[in-house]
Structure 1
């Protein structure tokens, strides 16, 4: 990404909407942006009517003025294609471009993202506005890059217009070639759903019992992802036909979209929108709640999309629409902390959202750096401090890789299939978060790694431990890959509901856990979904205290003599039956837990995994996150205090804090919401 954006240091910027403000404010705004040390300004992603006030008539004058004025203050412009909000003249004349609910209700003008990707007319008009903009701005020296659309699949990630049904049929015909193959993949013999003509096939529709064919629903999500990517590719191809000097990206990350494929096939790099305060809307009563620290999990997912990334919307104030998303005002120090949170996890460019809080529309409470009155406030002062610091350290950290020896595996098939299947779907996020907590609170940096059919052993070998919690869909090819990973020395942890489905979402006719039975060395003797009709079971791991379990339990049966049972159930009809196994294979080993992970269970298993950590470098409190980034022969340790109180930590060797310039050793204090970036040679 360093080469793509042509920067030698981490840079900051801001989102700005000149069409929202009087032209009299523009120059002062740009001047103040430069004074804050910003280098980038992002604009135009919602301005279609400004560019094309009526069909076929184009006017670039407003943004020409704004872009030229930004250039006067050395601000580099990122232009958004405005296809997230089609003009009212367009939707009134061509209603077929509008999205439709599963119930057949058309979504009308008045909000955003009310179009569908598969309307030929919408694709035609989107291609035209993209072409006109690229034609006009591809030689503008102030425009350095493009953002396609805005937050693809945000607000809504399902589409049921006539065009979507038609394109779904075409997609299925290409995938399956014959109705017999489709019927087999969808299991339509059940409930007499067999199709005898392609025109009978639709996207999922309302049913009597509100239940969809799960195999049909899984393909629907794959189709939505492919449609979204095709829409983005159309725009990217147009832009690149005019210029190779301006990069292309988009921002997100939302549902029913294979963001890995989108990034690898189309984008120069990925841009994420980071709002840590989202996780404070609903009270988290779990053990050791992550709160805003959960955004480190999200950022770890973004980091896996491929290489360094950008933040195109970094939270700059409280967030809320007039009717939803209620968030508190960030406390003093949190905006700075969240900026470093993004930086710690690999962001090389960070843009705040937005310059000034809007005075009109649904987002009048989605606050920017400046308030409505445009007077100084503490958020501006905090971001000014952060900017000054990053200008000082940005060249050190640009392009530095995030270092992790462990990874939590995820995949799109199980994520999408799990939306319909409550026998494992709800457990995916629970267990992922439980393991993320365990790694976080043991100060072990972790990656979130997307496992796909193209994943290779070399890609997995960098990790000493993999956690793959509830991979219901698991093919023979994937099982072979994981077996090879363990044989060469890796350790892997599986959870319940693993390995019993094929790519269509249909269960295998084989003992659970399917193709990983040989690797795990166990089969599932019995299982139960847990609810209020039975006493709450417990599990005792490694002879320690009994822990509560929830969600689902599998009773394990030994299939290989070298399997060791490390945990047993209690307080259930299967009391004293095995719950956790470990089996050595080659130079590594595989664990299988017949339940859903919580923090305590994950923490207990983690202790047995003997994962290398940083205890020889630091003694850290729970409230301090450790991130490690490396660049050539230099290692940087980022300590982020997510508490509002001072934290006492212990450095076991002398290190220099890049922010303050101080040499630190022994016991030191980190102020509430403060950050250290430490570097020092080992002795």
Structure 2
């Protein structure tokens, strides 16, 4: 007990970075097993064996238990009931299914939240998120962690060496309900976090620009959480630190669980969590958990109100393949490995509209995940619930529990098709030269997104859309994308191209790394807002974005935003393009190539985009965002071709991915598309012309 208490204290205050070294878990290799969520606590005991047997008969390889079942395991404090879960684990083993076992910390039982209301997340208006909502506690709170440790002790004792347990999922879609935690615990913990970071209050006042509006503090104890509900507007530098703190707090909660499980579980078991909806969860930074997980899994629901759909009548039935690709490649970049932990089998219940998927779309999503390199797919969920907040969320089975749903049938088909793929040779599994030639690093910094969204400067600016514009264009080239942190190696051999869209906060170390990367032969693409601020979010005491002038081979004189509905023109290679949101006005230095200019406004003829050669590489600076992204696409195409890369020319939302010797194409558009299949290829399924919602798979031994 003393050892456990020591572990507990050392992990908590104040988010010390203590990482247990992962063992060698039994992750799937070049296969993609498919599994399904199952909630035995929702169904009669007499149905458990029937359901689990049916799951195995349909071809599923694993199931997923217990992430919302704390009250079933510990209905009263200290009184444990695991017999039901033991039975279901044994049933899974009986029918050859592996089990992903989940820690149930997303939904603490009512006795716990009533006994300790101080563990509850508090919203910006001061109201606690009461019992009955998931993710309503702060996982870094030491009071909560005491009870987490108790339930995990019981679980790891029973299942840590169980041969049916494949791995562990920590929590569920970890985030704070309501985006941030404004509780008393969070207030005091934030102050400790600030004191650890700044040590002296004068350093904090400097970083926060506290002389503005008399923001200055005399001690850390005077600081309150920045809250727009209290002050109408907030200090952007204080807000940025609070966002950093929340991300650290969330990661600390996961680290506590991971560190506790390590060493107690079988060395063949693994630890992950299912990160979800990063776009709308500012406290979620996957990279902060890089050392605590064996890999990061991801969750994706393609049909909902907020996804980035392609144009066309079928879009609401096909969903956003770009979101799926982005999510998969981001999660894979954490540890070089990922799987999709939640993928819908049909309509969902929580969107403003919940269209039926086009027949074939569900199977297409599974194949797209395969092509992206996901090492497993788990569908949410096996049975459609009869009660609760997700009654209209489709399952593999219809509400009767015995009839396979249309989406369930597509899962079964995908399982059989993937299992039936012909084996590829070692030569085929080697990454083709064409794929390697266009591999791209995408520089990722969560704080840049948060900082720009807090200080947009124009209501039309959307940081995510800016990122998506470049990501989407990269996928039309057939590029595989790996998300990089500033601290990662900028290896030209691995990533001959690097894109850093709107990388607003920079420092001299990053600029030196960029310069070295380019001199070594790398090709760097930067865009508007890059280099505008330091890491505290302050403008440089210099000319606008001056630290990157030598790198881009130009000076940046000013920038413009146009009024809503007013579009300016851009000229490039004899063609006109429209723009509205952001336009940098550049003056190129001698030897810098002008790529695009403005076609109107009082700065007509001024440069909008440039190319600069440094050493063996190049830097492209694109200082404007065109209306449809077409100008940026053409600049990228020329940049890749001139560097000797082999690229594709795909329509937006038609994706072609390579994995382990297989080429996989999927079509999220509303029109058929022709695929770049070599004459030497052997088509396994589909055809050279791909219809909406369909899949084509081929193999080609030619490099």
What pairs up with 1:599-610 in 2 under 5 angstroms? 599-610=629-640
Describe the superposition over 1:331-352 as per-residue Cα deviations: whole angstroms up to 9, x where unpaired.
1111110001111111111111
- 1:565 and 2:594 aligned: yes
Instruction: Map 1:104-503; keep pairs closer than 5 Å.
Output: 104-153=126-175, 155-206=177-228, 210-243=232-265, 244-253=267-276, 254=278, 255-257=281-283, 259-278=285-304, 291-294=319-322, 295-321=324-350, 324-374=351-401, 375-393=403-421, 404-423=438-457, 426-441=461-476, 443-452=477-486, 454-458=487-491, 460-503=492-535
Among 70, 80, 84, the alignment partner of 1:62 is 84
- Unpaired segments ≥5 residues, structure 1: 661-666
Deviation readout 1:1-36 (Å, 9 max, x if unpaired): 996325563211111000001111111111111111
What is the DSSP-based 3-state SS (H/G/I as helix, E as strand, rest coil) of the residue aligned with 2:420?
helix
Q: Distance in 1 between matches of 2:227 and 2:362?
A: 44
1:80 matched to 2:108? no
Instruction: Note if contact 1:82-1:149 (Cα within 8 Å) is conserved in structure 2.
Output: yes
Distance 1:314 1:575, change over 3 A: same
Aligned to 2:580: 550
Say which SS state the counterpart of residue 237 (structure 2) adopts: helix
Structure 2: distance between partners of 1:59 and 1:318: 34
Q: Paired residue for 2:561?
A: 529
Contact 1:252 1:273 survives alignment (8 Å):
yes
Is the aligned partner of 1:40 residue 2:62?
yes
2-structure distance, mates of 1:284, 1:394 = 33
- Is this contact kept in 1: 2:194–2:220, CA < 8 A? no
TM-superposition CA deviations, 1:362-402 (whole Å, max 9, x none): 11112111121222332222211111112123975999878
Kept in 2, the 8 Å contact 1:42–1:78? The answer is yes
Q: Aligned partners of 2:208, 2:409: CA distance in 1, in Å?
A: 58
Q: Is the 8 A contact 1:444 1:613 kept in 2?
A: no
What is the DSSP-based 3-state SS (H/G/I as helix, E as strand, rest coil) of the residue aligned with 2:77?
A: coil
Q: Which residue of 2 aligns with 1:664?
A: none
CA shift for structure 1 position 274:
2.0
Aligned counterpart, 2:124: 102
In the alignment, the residues of structure 2 paired with residue 388 and residue 318 of structure 1 have an alpha-carbon distance, to the nearest angstrom, of: 23
Of residues 44-53 and 277-286 in structure 1, the stretch that sits farther from structure 2 once superposed is: 277-286
CA distance in 2, matches of 1:210, 1:285: 37
Looking at structure 2, the residues matched to 213 and 366 of structure 1 have their Cα atoms a distance apart, in angstroms, of 41
Deviation by residue 1:188-242 (Cα, 9 ceiling, x = unmatched): 1111111102211122124666211111111111111111111111111111131
How far does residue 501 in structure 1 lie from its aligned partner after superposition? 0.7
Q: Confirm or deny that 1:639 pairs with 2:665.
A: yes
Write the distance in 2 (CA, Å) between the matches of 1:536 and 1:91: 54
- 2:699 is aligned with 1:679: yes
State the SS of the aligned residue for 2:327.
helix
Q: Deviations over 1:475-527 (max 9, x none)?
A: 11111111111111222222221102111111111122232111112121122
Whether the aligned pair in 1 keeps the contact of 2:443 and 2:499 (CA below 8 Å) is yes
On the 8 A contact 1:319/1:326 being kept in 2, the answer is: no
Are the counterparts in 2 of residues 113 and 156 from structure 1 also a CA contact under 8 Å? no
Superposition deviation, residue 625 in structure 1: 1.5
| Partner Cα distance (2:290, 2:464) in 1 | 25
Partner of 2:18 in structure 1? none
Alpha-carbon distance in structure 1 between the residues aligned to 2:141 and 2:645: 57
Query: How far apart in 1 are the matches of 2:345 and 2:445?
Result: 32
Contact 1:616 1:652 in 2 (8 A): no
Structure 2: how far apart are the matches of 1:239 and 1:130? 8
Cα distance, 1:612 vs. partner? 8.1
What is the aligned length?
A: 665
What is the distance in 2 between the residues matched to 1:20 and 1:288? Answer: 35
- Inter-partner Cα distance in structure 2 for 1:524 and 1:131: 59
User: For 1:242, what is the secondary structure of its paired residue?
Assistant: coil
Match of 2:4 in 1: none
Three-state SS of the structure 2 residue aligned to 1:309 is coil
Query: C-alpha separation between the residues in 2 aligned to 1:382 and 1:612?
Result: 43
Asked whether the 8 Å contact 1:524–1:556 carries over to 2, the reply is yes
Q: Report the TM-score when normalising by structure 2.
A: 0.88
Distance 1:397 1:614 in 2: 27
Q: CA RMSD in A?
A: 2.9
CA deviation map 1:412-452 (0-9, x unaligned): 120121231112894422222222232333x4223152332
Counterparts in 2 of 1:357 and 1:207: CA distance versus 1, 3 Å = closer
